[in-house]
Amino acid sequence: MSEKQVQMMWSFMRILRIAALMSLMALSLFVAITNGRAAYTKRQEASQSIDPVTKWEKRILPVLDHVPDNVTEFGYLADWDLPKSDYDIVDQDNEYTLTQYALAPRIVQPGLDHEWIIGNFTQAGFQGWLDQNLSAYEISQIGFGIYIIHRTAP
């Protein structure tokens, strides 16, 4: 091999090393930008997401728009009160607890023993059960399976 060929080979190798180094830098920059954008997007999503307690509060607080301001106690009925109802006990218990929390300092107690009753039903047929257990009542649908029931007779 001539000296000129060796120099050309070394020159070619040098160009390859520079190209490899530039490619590595470009790849590193691409990965850094992609990860940065992903982290920013995830952070934005996390800051905009609503925790379950806040979601439940938004679902249950409209009940207060349907009752007089002086109401301080509510009854609470749910799928677990309906005979032969298929429900998730953990889900039902959590929703009852969240309802108590959202409506505090008002008292929320299970049962039919109050003038104002919050109904949390996902099962069809609950009104037939209400007809059998309450002599007279008015019912308003709030949404998301939430109802406010006003006993109009003892």
**Whole-number pLDDT of residue 51:** 82
Q: Which domain holds residue 68?
A: 52-151
**Is the domain of 22 the same as that of 62?**
no
How does residue 116 score in pLDDT terms, banded at 50, 70 and 90? Answer: very high
**Is the domain of 65 the same as that of 120?**
yes
**Is the domain of 63 the same as that of 112?**
yes
Q: What is the pTM of this model?
A: 0.68
**Is the domain of 2 the same as that of 40?**
yes
**Is the domain of 45 the same as that of 56?**
no
**Whole-number pLDDT of residue 20:** 92
**Is the domain of 45 the same as that of 60?**
no
3-state secondary structure the chain: CCHHHHHHHHHHHHHHHHHHHHHHHHHHHHHHHHHHHHHHHHHHHHHHCCCHHHHHHHHHHHHHHHCCCCCCEEEEEEHHHCCCCCCCHHHHHHHHHHHHHHHCCCEEEECCCCCEEEEECCCCCHHHHHHHHCCCEEEEEEECCEEEEEECCC
How does residue 47 score in pLDDT terms, banded at 50, 70 and 90? Answer: low
